[in-house]
Amino acid sequence: MELHFNPYDFEYRIEDGITYFYFYGRTMEGQKVAVKHRYAPFFYADASGIDKQEFEEKINCLVLKSGPEPAKAAGFEMIEKESQGRKQEFYKIYANYPKAVPLLAKEIQSWGLACYERDILYVHRYLRDHGIIPMKTVKASGAFVQDQWMRAPVFLAEKVEPQKSETSPEWRVLAIDIETYAVKKEIDFNHNPILMISFFGMKDGQEFRKVLTWKNTALPEYVEIVPDEGALLKRMKEIIIEYDPDIITGYFTDGFDFPYLQSRAGKHKVQLDLGIDHSEIIVHQSGFGETEAKIKGLLHLDMLKFIRNIFGKDLDVETYSLDAVSRALLGHQKHEVDLDQLSYFWDHEPEKLAEFCAYNLHDSFLAYKLCEKLLPDMIEFTSIVGLPTFDVIRMRFSKLVESYILKRAAEFNVLAPNKPENTEISRRMEESIQGGFVYEPTPGLYDDIIVFDFRSLYPTIICAHNISPEGFRCACCKDLPHVPGKEEYWFCSHGKKFLPAILEQLILRRAEIKQQIKEAKKKKEDTSLLDARSYALKILANSFYGYMGFYAARWYCLECAASTTAYARNYIAGTIAKAQQEGFKVIYADTDSCFLLLEEKTIEEAMKFMEGINENLPGQMELEFEGHYPRGIFVSLKGLKGPKGVKGSEKGAKKKYALLKKDGNIKIIGFETVRRNWSPLAKEMQEKVLRLILQEKVAEAIQYVKKTIDELRKGEIAADKLVLKMQITRELSSYSSFAPHVKIAGEMQQRGQPAGPGTVVKFIIVKGKGLIRDRAKIPADVSPGQYDAEYYVTHQLIPVVSSIFTVLGYSEEELFKESSQTGLGKYF
């Protein structure tokens, strides 16, 4: 029989020595289903220049005992693949189970054969090789089989193929959020219980809202009261199973809610066996101390991960907090509550908990709304990359690009190069290239600024000039034009090479989508799906250049990256020169953008200039009008570091300016983002000063700074605006460097206050001599006016506003020197 279904979670299982790929999803009729399909893992070995007979005899009797099962080659065949632009023969070697692949490859490499695609995850390989797109419809041919373990019927497929279908199912989404006991922001998985769990969803057109808690008091109708924390966890499990979601979502659920739930469940010996096969929530370490949480048979989407890694890059937020992100994306914000009170009320005034239940529910609501809004985007990335949505939203750009390339490589019969070894990575990290061209602005305040930029500059250059590793310095094109400014570099112009070819498809596909968006808008149709598609294509295309220069890339090609920026510098320099010839004053240019002053010219003349540029550009390259700003401030770029690697060169071209938009809003670029080791005072000052100056209230801005500094020096600033925070991350004895926060933590411990790993230490710098650490004090010990005003002036306030005032011709001296009537001496 045939089964049509939409899968969203995947794994492999070994049953009686056979490796099966498992799909988990929902049938077109809405029934949850597991589909299994036999598929053998494999990798490739370079067959050139070896004694084939000897090799084949050796491989036939190869058995390695180091794995969980003896690793054996389950057969091999000879195939042809394209490697570095040439067709070549390889052995395709099958393994008896997935983890045998790296073991066998390592052994065979020791025989002197280069092995490839030996670290491609089995699940990923399966999806690519079968052209399966997660979330989209799949047709399986086979039959249902008996299985006592799964929470869904199991279908054994003989054959599996992707289906073209335009209708996408209504995914059933459940958002979840927990509140925990915590005094003074101290999060402690071991000692502090979960107080509340909220759920928000939409099932069969009905809103689902629920909060579980274990304090017996009068609470709103959506709150369900259970006897204790253990019961809370058990009830949560029941609710999720009954709701039967496809997608479970939340905010920082990878790093907080699920690990917390898992840890509390362990404490109460409650089985959170939510998996389709009754497995428990799986929390694993991923990367630099981060975790990710998985429930088998469900799709867990941590909205923070997608927003932080992929979607948030174009989002104008200063932190990725749920509050900031919800404001920016949904126009909603979090409920305002004092979370310190939750634990207090829990202990002393439970009748006041209703407010916190509402808060808890609202956070689930926000996560649900974020998921709902971004699901089209997450699904688009899934489609383009062809990997599970779970993985895709947790990837960084380099991995996303590489996954896209690997998918296309399978289609093009291109062999994937191996990841670099550690020694190779270190070598690559030493290498650097020149970045974008920066036309340094004359710092100042300007009126009527016109901004042009090249649309997708780097991607369009890579395509227009066929920049690729295989075509680098080819034998056939030596006499054709070379890369401008890189006379020893040229690229083959015979036939589109692999990377430019697949990149061009992204660009052309996006152009089509943009056309469709235009038409849909004319007809007043909803464009959100098309917008998502266009956005995904753009992000991916823009990441190709960075990928080629990324040290860990399989398709690393620093010469390609260097040539891309060389062409770009040439194009932007040409644009600047032409603008000047036509009598425009260019005030600033950076990589792909050019800022002109309108002065006595008209907008029409500026547009005419742009058209002139566009007549001479190759391929998909195009200069676009970005905007007209009534006023802007540019500050000096002093203190820049020289180019170092691709990233470093981007940093070298760092911009620092603020523009006033026609609607009165300001666009701030490149000024310090404020982190928790900046005082609240510094943050406040920077924003206010920029705003005042762009509104031409310079005198007022100076007045404000002087007044603030005056107050600071008089000791009138509230100490809480001066608090610096730093976290203790290990046992104090194991710190080798004795930083201020370590000293403070030591003092706290002496007083019997906890200051172990995880504690956020707060301190204020006070007057005195010596190193900063000698003058760091616990805020409670700081008497009014004892703080070191000069430290705050020089380390906090000057850094955030000095460049702004320097531009206007004010020296630091004038602004920050002590005024005569408020000398320090007064307070000593």
Q: Which of residues 791-810 bind DNA (CB under 7 A)?
A: 795, 799
Residues 753-792, one symbol each (x = binds DNA by CB under 7 A, - = not), give -------x----------xxx-------------------
**Would you say 601 and 773 are in contact if contact means Cβ atoms under 8 Å apart?**
no
**20 near DNA (CB under 7 A):** no
**737 near DNA (CB under 7 A):** yes
Q: Where are the alpha helices (DSSP H) in 42-119?
A: 52-60, 100-110
Residues 260-299, one symbol each (x = binds DNA by CB under 7 A, - = not), give ----------------------x-xxxxxx----------
**144 near DNA (CB under 7 A):** no
**180 near DNA (CB under 7 A):** yes
Letter string b/e over residues 743-756, b meaning 16 or more CB atoms within 10 A of that residue's CB: bbbbbbeeeeeebe
DSSP string, 709-754: HHHHHTT-S-GGGS-EEEE--S-GGG-SS--HHHHHHHHHHHTT--
**13 near DNA (CB under 7 A):** no
**418 near DNA (CB under 7 A):** no
Measured from the CB atom, is 217 or 291 closer to DNA?
291
Residues 422-461, one symbol each (x = binds DNA by CB under 7 A, - = not), give x---------------------------------------
Q: Which member of 67, 102, 193, 574 binds DNA (CB under 7 A)? A: 102
- Identify which of 562, 472, 461 has the alpha carbon closest to the alpha carbon of residue 504: 461
Angle between helices 397-412 and 354-385 (to 10 degrees): 30
- Least Å from the CB of residue 789 to DNA: 16
Piece in contact with DNA (CB under 7 A), picked from 41-49, 262-270, 378-386, 532-540 = 41-49
Piece in contact with DNA (CB under 7 A), picked from 432-440, 488-496, 500-508, 731-739 = 731-739
Piece in contact with DNA (CB under 7 A), picked from 96-104, 146-154, 158-166, 628-636 = 96-104
Neighbours of 395 (CB within 10 A): 19
Measured from the CB atom, is 602 or 736 closer to DNA?
736
Q: Which member of 143, 145, 187, 476 binds DNA (CB under 7 A)? A: 187
Counting Cα atoms < 13 Å in the Cβ hemisphere of 735 gives 18
**327 near DNA (CB under 7 A):** no
Q: Which residue has 């808008």 as its token pair?
A: 521
Say which amino acid occupies 579.
A
Measured from the CB atom, is 342 or 660 closer to DNA?
342
Q: Which residues contact 467 (CB under 8 A, 6 or more apart)?
A: 461, 491, 499, 500, 560, 563, 564
Piece in contact with DNA (CB under 7 A), picked from 200-208, 444-452, 535-543, 722-730 = 722-730
- Least Å from the CB of residue 132 to DNA: 14
As beta bridge partners, residue 202 has 207
Of residues 352-391, which lie at the interface with DNA (CB under 7 A)? 363, 391
**542 near DNA (CB under 7 A):** no
Q: Which residue has 């547009």 as its token pair?
A: 607
**98 near DNA (CB under 7 A):** yes
Q: Which member of 45, 160, 248, 342 binds DNA (CB under 7 A)? A: 342
Strands 63-64 and 71-83, bridge-based pairing: antiparallel
Of residues 659-678, which lie at the interface with DNA (CB under 7 A)? 672, 675-677
**Would you say 764 and 784 are in contact if contact means Cβ atoms under 8 Å apart?**
no
Letter string b/e over residues 776-804, b meaning 16 or more CB atoms within 10 A of that residue's CB: bbeeeebeeeebbbebbbebbbbebbbbb
d(CA 360, CA 353): 11
DSSP string, 339-399: HHHHHHHHHH-GGGTHHHHHHHHHHHHHHHHHHHHHHHHHHHHHHHHTS-HHHHHT--HHH
- Least Å from the CB of residue 793 to DNA: 14
Compute how many residues bind DNA; rule: CB under 7 A.
84
Of residues 681-720, which lie at the interface with DNA (CB under 7 A)? none
Piece in contact with DNA (CB under 7 A), picked from 82-90, 320-328, 583-591, 592-600 = 320-328
